[in-house]
């Protein structure tokens, strides 16, 4: 199977990764580790196999996904697909616990050891702080992260859901570069595109990524499923008008792009940004994975990118 997914250098490194990644939050098919059975594993293996066939090399986990079950099931996938580890860039995260966040160094050490054991790995390519922890000084967190890099358990450091000033606070104490920031961004969540003052609710994350050579990872790239065109939008949904406007614009543009699907437009729109956004496709359905992967071959014109942005904004550009 040929792939339309391009590769890109990750962060400030020369490591090449696929420009579309598989988000593994639903890989186990359950949030109860005790309920994982042969059918869960079979579906997970098929999802990983399909991803690799489509050219996806980047797989994103977190210790909390599936209540740890997703990392455990991933080990089964690696065992079922001999030689697959060598083709993969594997990421996981730490920091979210039940009802609170924690970046205490001892907890980070325990968490990475648990993740490696569950996945059957000697190291992960990318280790991310899942959400900021306001009760841990970034100097303490940075010292532990640097230790994990120097010991070879982790190759690169990233963050997730960090605003620009939080990135700078951690970066001050961290010897290793921050290579990525995983954020929610889609046509239904435009905040990272805007600089705060100009965008009202903007946070300037993408501008910082461009400035510092940080790769943005986009979770919920199809607007939590609302931009697939497969879900009926409830009449009381707070973004119903926006969703319908975006989908109508996608329908209008589709004939010029080989009748691309709404999900493909949503992914292609993110891929067009010069910050090198990597959308995380959160599905275990092989058809949905193939559909998203095909978006890598779509080259939106500048005019059409702006048409979708205007539809999402609800106003013309100034």
Q: What is the pLDDT of residues 9-39, one digit of tens each?
A: 999 999 999 999 999 999 999 999 999 999 9
**Cβ pair 292, 23 in contact under 8 A:** no
Give pLDDT, residue 200: 53
Q: Which residues are catalytic?
A: 65
First vs last Cα of the chain: how many Å apart?
44
Residues 6+ apart with CB under 8 A from 217: 21, 60, 158, 160, 180, 181, 182, 183, 277, 278, 280
pLDDT of residue 195: 61
Q: Per residue in 268-286, pLDDT tens?
A: 999 999 999 999 999 999 9
Beta strands 278-281; 154-160: pairing state:
unpaired
* Band of pLDDT at residue 4, cut at 50, 70 and 90: low
Mean pLDDT over all residues of the chain? Answer: 95
Residues in CB range of 182: below 8 A, 6 or more apart: 60, 93, 128, 158, 159, 160, 161, 216, 217, 218, 219, 280
| pTM score of the predicted model | 0.96
Q: What is the mean pLDDT of residues 246-264?
A: 98
Domains of the chain by residue range: 7-228+276-297
Bigger pLDDT: 3 vs 315 = 315
Residues 75 and 42: beta-carbon distance below 8 Å: no
Q: In degrees, to the nearest 5, what angle opens at C-alpha 223 toward C-alphas 278 and 221? A: 5
Instruction: Provide the 3-class DSSP secondary structure of residue 177.
Output: coil
d(CA 165, CA 143): 19
Q: 159 falls in which pLDDT band (50, 70, 90)?
A: very high
What's the CA gap between 315 and 265, in Å, rounded?
20
Q: Which fold has domain 7-228+276-297?
A: TIM Barrel (3.20.20)
Residue with tokens 């961290």: 174
Q: What secondary structure letter does DSSP report for 10?
A: -
What pLDDT digit, counting tens, does each position of 178-189 carry? 999 999 999 999
Q: Tokens for 130?
A: 């899942």
| Exposed / middle / buried, residue 181 (Cβ in 10 Å: 0-12, 13-18, 19+) | buried
Residue 232 has pLDDT above 60, yes or no: yes
Portion of the chain with pLDDT greater than 90, in percent: 95
d(C-alpha 318, C-alpha 311), whole Å: 14
**pLDDT of the residue at 202:** 83
Which pLDDT value is given to residue 199?
A: 44
pLDDT tier, 194 (very low <50, low <70, confident <90, very high otherwise): confident
Mean pLDDT in residue range 148-172: 98
For residue 298, name the pLDDT band (cuts at 50, 70, 90).
Answer: very high
How far is 127 from 17, CA to CA, in rounded Å?
15
Residue 317 burial (10 A CB sphere; 0-12, 13-18, 19+): exposed
Tens-place pLDDT, residues 95-143: 999 999 999 999 999 999 999 999 999 999 999 999 999 999 999 999 9
> Helix-strand-coil percent breakdown of the chain, rounded to 5?
45, 15, 35
């Amino acid at each position: 199977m040929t792939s339309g997914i391009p590769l890109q250098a990750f962060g400030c490194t020369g490591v090449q990764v696929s420009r579309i990644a598989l988000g593994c939050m639903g890989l186990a098919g359950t949030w109860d580790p005790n309920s994982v059975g042969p059918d869960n594993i079979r579906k997970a293996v098929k999802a990983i196999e399909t991803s690799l066939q489509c050219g996806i090399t980047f797989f994103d986990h977190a210790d909390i996904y599936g209540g740890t079950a997703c990392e455990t099931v991933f080990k089964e996938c690696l065992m079922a697909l001999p030689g697959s580890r060598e083709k993969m860039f594997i990421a996981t995260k730490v920091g979210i616990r039940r009802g609170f966040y924690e970046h205490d160094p001892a907890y980070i050490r325990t968490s990475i050891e648990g993740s490696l054991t569950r996945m059957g790995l000697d190291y992960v390519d990318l280790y991310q702080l899942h959400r900021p922890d306001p009760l841990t000084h970034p100097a303490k967190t940075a010292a532990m992260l640097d230790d994990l890099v120097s010991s070879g358990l982790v190759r690169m450091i990233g963050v997730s859901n960090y605003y620009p000033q939080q990135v700078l606070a951690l970066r001050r104490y961290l010897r290793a570069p921050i290579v990525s920031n995983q954020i929610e961004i889609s046509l239904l969540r435009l905040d990272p595109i805007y600089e705060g003052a100009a965008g009202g609710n903007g946070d300037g994350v993408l501008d910082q990524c461009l400035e510092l050579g940080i790769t943005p990872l986009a979770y919920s790239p199809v607007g939590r499923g609302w931009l697939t065109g497969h879900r009926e939008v409830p009449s009381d949904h707070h973004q119903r008008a926006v969703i319908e406007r975006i989908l109508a614009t996608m329908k209008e543009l589709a004939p010029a792009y080989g009748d691309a699907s709404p999900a493909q437009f949503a992914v292609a729109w993110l891929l067009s940004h010069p910050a090198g956004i990597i959308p995380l496709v959160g599905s275990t359905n092989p058809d949905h994975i193939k559909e998203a992967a095909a978006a890598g071959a779509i080259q939106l014109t500048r005019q059409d990118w702006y048409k979708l942005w205007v539809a999402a904004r609800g106003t013309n550009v100034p």
